[in-house]
Structure 1
Amino acid sequence: MGGNTNNVWLADDVDVDVHDFSHAAHRLLSETSDLPTDPTQVAVRPAELLPSWDEDWLMLAREQLRQLWMHALEASARRLLDAGMIPQAIDQLLVVVAEEPLRESAQALLIEAYLREGNMCEARRQLASFARQLWTVLRVRPSRDLCERVGGELNVERLR
């Protein structure tokens, strides 16, 4: 070992949950992977990386895992939508929206899912809720493209 006491080594047969999660997420992000056989497994948020540690470098590593999880859920939901599995896609997207309500990519995909199932009311309700949150927190409106998907511009001030 050369006397370096700053390194920790794990035996090859030790499973590391972060590695397992990362591999599963990357499989979901791969366009060639199959649809998840159990989409509920994907929806489970990864455990916080080294929760009792308070190191600066961990903030970035934790955020990278959180972003990877949300990207994997969105990619999986998109493929579920494309396969006509709309309820399963909606379930996954609701998890992302609950984690990050201002994430427009997830909101847009959720609205698309409602539209694909022919549920304009749910699509408009979701857009209105998103618009209220965006306006309250950031004083911005949803993108014009997103508003046009459900029939035009929203008057955010009227939604309060």
Structure 2
Amino acid sequence: MIAVECVDHRLRLAPVVQVDLHTVRGLAQGAVADAPPPADPESLVAKLGEELLPSWSDEWLVLERERWDQVRLHALESLAQRLRRDGEYLAAVQTALTATEIDPIRETAHRILIEIHIAEGNTACAVKRYKEYQRLLRRELEVEPSPLMTRLVQDLTSA
């Protein structure tokens, strides 16, 4: 098998070579587009949890890593919401937690976790997640969670 070919004095990967990033990116786009859920969501979540070339320090990778992070965050959040709607709470929590590991200050994944806890009837877990996120934002950025997120738990704590 020839992995690299020369076309018009340029090198490129042969069409028979599969690039794992391209494969996972396609699966991620399916998750965002609300395609049918993958048969093995855990495998997709594991792949989306992987960084792009983590041991490389090349400057060109900075923008590519940001692009990859945005793709995987949106895919993980979409998948977590779909799993929550389908009542697959454990898989939904694991998926949303993977997103919070990628970007700990991104509100969307934390909000989805709170929504999952509420859907399960775990009020205390929802409030605890909110308070942990609130402390993180205050400590790191000196800001508060959005009004949208605050409203999620407001009714839970005002009883």
Please confirm whether the aligned pair reaches a TM-score higher than 0.5, indicating the same fold: yes
C-alpha displacement at 1:2, in angstroms?
Answer: 4.5
The reply on whether 1:90 has 2:90 as its aligned counterpart is: no
C-alpha displacement at 1:75, in angstroms?
Answer: 0.5
C-alpha displacement at 1:50, in angstroms?
Answer: 8.1
- Quick one: structure 1 residues 145 and 2, their matched pair in 2 at CA, closer, same or farther if it must change by over 3 Å? closer
The reply on whether 1:144 has 2:147 as its aligned counterpart is: yes
1:39 alignment partner, one of 41, 47, 56? 41
1:132 alignment partner, one of 116, 131, 135? 135
Query: Unmatched 5+ residue regions in structure 2?
Result: 1-6
Normalised to the residue count of structure 1, the TM-score between the two structures is 0.84
Query: Unmatched 5+ residue regions in structure 1?
Result: 155-160
C-alpha displacement at 1:53, in angstroms?
Answer: 5.4
RMSD: 1.9
Segment drifting more, 33-42 vs 11-20: 33-42
Moved over 3 A (4+): 49-53
For the Cα contact (< 8 Å) 1:21–1:46, is it kept in 2? no
The reply on whether 1:23 has 2:26 as its aligned counterpart is: yes
Say which SS state the counterpart of residue 56 (structure 2) adopts. Answer: coil
For the Cα contact (< 8 Å) 1:135–1:141, is it kept in 2? yes
2:62 alignment partner, one of 59, 68, 75? 59
Output the CA distance in 2 between the equivalents of 1:16 and 1:50.
16
Greater strand share, structure number: 2
1:121 alignment partner, one of 121, 124, 127? 124
**Number of residue pairs matched?**
148
1:99 alignment partner, one of 85, 102, 120? 102
Question: Alignment identity in percent?
Answer: 32
Equivalent in the alignment of 2:82? 79
Output the CA distance in 2 between the equivalents of 1:79 and 1:67.
18
The residue identity in structure 1 corresponding to 2:63 is L
For the Cα contact (< 8 Å) 2:69–2:102, is it kept in 1? no
Output the CA distance in 1 between the equivalents of 2:105 and 2:120.
23
Normalised to the residue count of structure 2, the TM-score between the two structures is 0.85
C-alpha displacement at 1:67, in angstroms?
Answer: 1.2
Segment drifting more, 45-54 vs 110-119: 45-54
